Structure 1
Amino acid sequence: MTNPYKFVIGFKSLTNDLLIIKIKIMNKTDLIDAMAEQAGISKAAAKKALEGALTEIGSALKDGKRVSLVGFGSFSVSERAAREGRNPQTGKTIQIAAKNVVKFKAGSELSGAVN
């Protein structure tokens, strides 16, 4: 099993004290393991189910559809307009092209579960 923790190192803004935060993360393998245990199925079946679900969500979003999972949340695609930005190395103004971005809005049950 992989290390479920990610360490973020930074400084507290006012005192410049070193701040190390330990964040627990879940990756795809961990999710597959949890799905298999929760559903009482093999890891291979859980992997196939997860990959199928992610493929279908991606296909729906690519077609411009909104994907709503009641209680969990909804995925949608939004167009981000072209804009001007700055190259941080040179300070030069650059054009940033328009693009589509995926947005996620958490559902009420998910929001309640994390609070």
Structure 2
Amino acid sequence: MNKTELIAFVAKKAGLTNASASSAVEAFLTGVTSTLKTGGKVAIIGWGSFEVTKTKARNGRNPKTGAPLKIPARNNPRFRPGKELKEAVN
């Protein structure tokens, strides 16, 4: 399911217009993104949580030339499914 299909699904399930559903989906995505940018965590009980994990800087190698290089530290968004979501898909 892509973003357009998600908007259509939300519109149908909630009895909204596509424009209203689009606004709702955009608001959710913006809220999650802005919370993660500030180092926060978004938890939806039973469904899952979004958080940022830090990856340490490390040494790597250019696969083409074999030359060593430094891979910088970075923040990575992570999603952890909740119990109800895990049970629903299994």
TM over 0.5: yes
Greater per-residue helix proportion: 2
Identity across the alignment (%): 48
Does 1:61 pair with 2:36? Answer: yes
Instruction: Tell me which residue corresponds to 1:82.
Output: 57
Greater per-residue strand proportion: 1
Larger Rg: 1
Find the residue that maps to 1:52 and give its secondary structure.
helix
Segments of 5+ residues of structure 2 without an aligned counterpart are none
1:91 shift after superposition: 1.2
1:93 shift after superposition: 1.1
TM-score (norm: length of structure 1): 0.76
RMSD of aligned C-alpha atoms? 0.7
TM-score (norm: length of structure 2): 0.96
Segments of 5+ residues of structure 1 without an aligned counterpart are 1-25
| Ranges of 4+ aligned residues in structure 1 off by more than 3 Å | none
Tell me which of the two structures has the higher relative contact order, counting C-alpha pairs closer than 8 angstroms and 6 or more residues apart.
2
